[in-house]
Chains A and B, each alone.
Chain A
Amino acid sequence: MVEWTAEERAAIQDIFNSLDYEDVGPKALQRCLIVYPWCQRYFGGFGNLYNAEAILSNPMVAAHGIVVLHGLDRAMKNMDDIKQTYAELSVLHSEKLHVDPDNFKLLADCLSVVIAGKMGTNFTPEIQAAWQKFLSVVVSALGRQYH
């Protein structure tokens, strides 16, 4: 089981409290598709992803970015058992979506970059550490049910 200090819980809660889902969600997914273009393989039905401009103006990418970001809510609400909370989502990503679990870390890194951009120097080393720990637990849980 993952141990969380009070400070770590507070840091993560703070980030979620001030999170603008409609802004951060799209930005994180757009950045993932631009910086790691092989991730586009999972979005064949999303239309025009040919270049950065297309990705940045693609409404399906923006909408899905918000969906993915809200997916983190359940982890934030169940920090003491993220592994179990995401068991079903892990099966979905493995059996139905066939996503290479290495990609989870790529999206997590892009999300960290977007949040750093929004928080500026408020994204202190302590907050970054708590946030990256949270994301690595999420990434691990999402990869857990692959076989």
Chain B
Amino acid sequence: MSLTAKDKALVKSFFAKIAPKAEDIGNEALSRTLFVFPQTKTYFSHWKDVSPGSAAIRKHGLTVMTGYMDAVEKIDDIANGLLTLSELHAFTLRVDPANFKIITHNVLVVMAMFYPEDFTPEVHVACDKFFGKVNLALSEKYR
């Protein structure tokens, strides 16, 4: 399922539009990941406060969104562009790759919440494909 030129254009323009709210989006998406899918909290046992909107979540949500925005810059070769991040997730963080699509699902939900008019079905499918590629790239170095 490769990204067409139209997909890339839609992803780039939508991410440019949402960039100013990256921190809010990241905060909401990560809060929901931990709250709606509590098994994901196992990766954050070192945080004191994992309740939605906590300072740690807000800060980390921005880190994650920055990662996605970086992947948009590298949209023509996501697999190679995310090699270092893949190594981080594979060897240091050791996050089960099944969790990647949980967080991207919640990013899509938050995009719909904050941008109901702009998050059209075409933008939705382009972003879903994009996140699919990102998640695959993050799994690259695992084994």
Q: Could you list which residues of chain A lie within 8 angstroms of chain B, going by C-beta atoms? A: 30-31, 34-35, 52, 55-56, 109, 112-114, 116-121, 123, 125-126, 128-129, 132
Please state if A31 and B113 are interface contacts (CB–CB under 8 Å).
Answer: no
Set of chain A residues within 8 Å of B89, measured between Cβ atoms = none
**Apart from A117-B112, A123-B109, 13 more pairs, CB < 8 Å:** A31-B121, A35-B125, A56-B121, A109-B105, A112-B109, A114-B112, A116-B110, A116-B112, A118-B116, A120-B113, A123-B113, A125-B36, A132-B36
Given known contacts A34-B125, A35-B125, A128 and B112 CB-to-CB distance under 8 angstroms? no
Please state if A128 and B36 are interface contacts (CB–CB under 8 Å).
Answer: yes
Please state if B52 and A35 are interface contacts (CB–CB under 8 Å).
Answer: no
Set of chain B residues within 8 Å of A31, measured between Cβ atoms = 121, 124
Grouping DSSP codes into helix (H, G, I), strand (E, B) and loop, the B interface class, with mixed when no group exceeds half, is helix
- How many A-B pairs with Cβ below 8 Å? 52
- Complex: A114 Cα to B119 Cα, angstroms: 10
Q: Sort A-B residue pairs by CB-CB distance and give the 10 closest, nearest first.
A: A117-B116, A34-B121, A117-B112, A125-B35, A116-B112, A35-B125, A129-B36, A113-B112, A116-B113, A125-B52
- Complex: A117 Cα to B128 Cα, angstroms: 16
CB of B78, distance to nearest CB on chain A (Å)? 19
Set of chain B residues within 8 Å of A129, measured between Cβ atoms = 35-36
CB of A8, distance to nearest CB on chain B (Å)? 12
Please state if A113 and B35 are interface contacts (CB–CB under 8 Å).
Answer: no
**8 Å CB contact of B113 from A30, A56, A117:** A117
Q: Does B32 contact A (CB under 8 A)?
A: yes
Q: Does B122 contact A (CB under 8 A)?
A: yes
